[in-house]
Amino acid sequence: MANRKKGSIAIPFLLTFLIALLLIGGFVMYIYKSLDMNKEEEIDEMLATEFNSATYEDSHTILFVLDVPEERCTTTFVVMRSVPKEKKLLLTGVPTNSIALIDGKQENLQNVYTNMGISAAENFIEEVSGIEIDRYMMLGQDAFMKLSDIMGGVSYGVTVDIPGFQDTDKEQYLTGKQTIKLLTYPMFSGGEFERASMAGSVMSAMINQSDGPNLAKGFERNFNTIVNMTRTNITAADYKKLAYQIDFMLTYGTAISHFSTVKGTSDGTYFLIDEFYSDEIIYEYFTAKSEDKAK
């Protein structure tokens, strides 16, 4: 009787012990695989960084121009500085009523663009900013809506009362058409300076809120479509040259986009730029750096 009692206790004990081992073993394998997957991701990024990575020579500056006559509003100008090596972008809106002396005559950006075209506007911004612009892209309504679709729209806190927008102080999701209406809204209390600052902020938010890897694939799939919908001097060869670097930046970067505002004075009609970029921004985004110095 005694031996039978011991056996009846031992069998359930052994079963419990084996089940516990299986559970613990499964948990350990799960942790191991998770760590292993994280390690693989780190290795992938390290390999991308070390072999076929972006360099400081890949940095470039693009002038984006939103020109939507349907909205009966002045044009929107945003300068984008891209530094793929450090996985970061800087967007700066330029007030259309910015003034400068052109051939001894005072001109403002909107008039220069309207009367002399995109190349003259590009030269104007180079003059007032002190930086060199590599390429430009002019977007109409359809092109911007296509770009917005690729990026997935944007959630943004709209601080002005625009018909068709939610009456809320919180962020609200904006479609491409709504984003255009916001970017071209002519009645900001701060005038063109506020509109330009908001434009850089909105476009920066669009980039940061998008899914980086999917955005890179979207650009690759739709590059020809976008180019055909815009006026631009960006060529297929330009994109091919920087396709990997753009993919690298969007895939491995986190919250890569930032925006800045210009400093200046306004009399209500014209805006005189005192400082386009601070010394800190110039050093961080525009100063030539060698790979050796970065290490």
| Token output for 81 | 């500085």
Q: In whole angstroms, what is the distance from residue 145 CA to residue 30 CA? A: 44
In the predicted structure, residue 240 carries a pLDDT above the cut 80? yes
What pTM was estimated for this model as a whole?
A: 0.81
Q: Which residues contact 112 (CB under 8 A, 6 or more apart)?
A: 102, 120, 121, 124
Helix axes 191-209, 141-151, angle to 10 degrees: 40
In the predicted structure, residue 43 carries a pLDDT above the cut 70? no
**Quick one: pLDDT band at residue 184, thresholds 50, 70, 90?**
very high
Q: By percentage, how much of the chain surpasses pLDDT 70?
A: 80
> For the chain, what is the radius of gyration of the CA atoms?
27
Q: Report the length, in residues, of the chain.
A: 295
In the predicted structure, residue 19 carries a pLDDT above the cut 70? no
The pLDDT of residue 38: 52
In the predicted structure, residue 238 carries a pLDDT above the cut 60? yes
Query: Could you say which of 3.30.70.920, 3.90.1150.10, 3.40.630.30, 3.40.630.190 is the CATH number of the domain covering 57-294?
Result: 3.40.630.190
Closest among 89, 91, 189, 202 to 151, alpha carbons compared: 202
In the predicted structure, residue 100 carries a pLDDT above the cut 70? yes
Q: In whole angstroms, what is the distance from residue 191 CA to residue 186 CA? A: 8
The pLDDT of residue 20: 43
Phi, psi (rounded to 5 degrees) for 165? -100, 155
DSSP single-letter state for residue 274:
E
When comparing pLDDT for 37 and 228, which is higher?
Answer: 228
In this structure, how many other beta carbons lie within 10 angstroms of the beta carbon of residue 120?
A: 17
| Contact between residue 156 and residue 205 where contact means Cβ atoms under 8 Å apart | yes
| Contact between residue 229 and residue 140 where contact means Cβ atoms under 8 Å apart | yes
In the predicted structure, residue 138 carries a pLDDT above the cut 50? yes
Average pLDDT along the chain: 84
Mean pLDDT across the stretch 62-81?
A: 92
Worst-scoring range by mean pLDDT, 14-23, 30-39, 165-174, 247-256? Answer: 14-23
The pLDDT of residue 173: 97
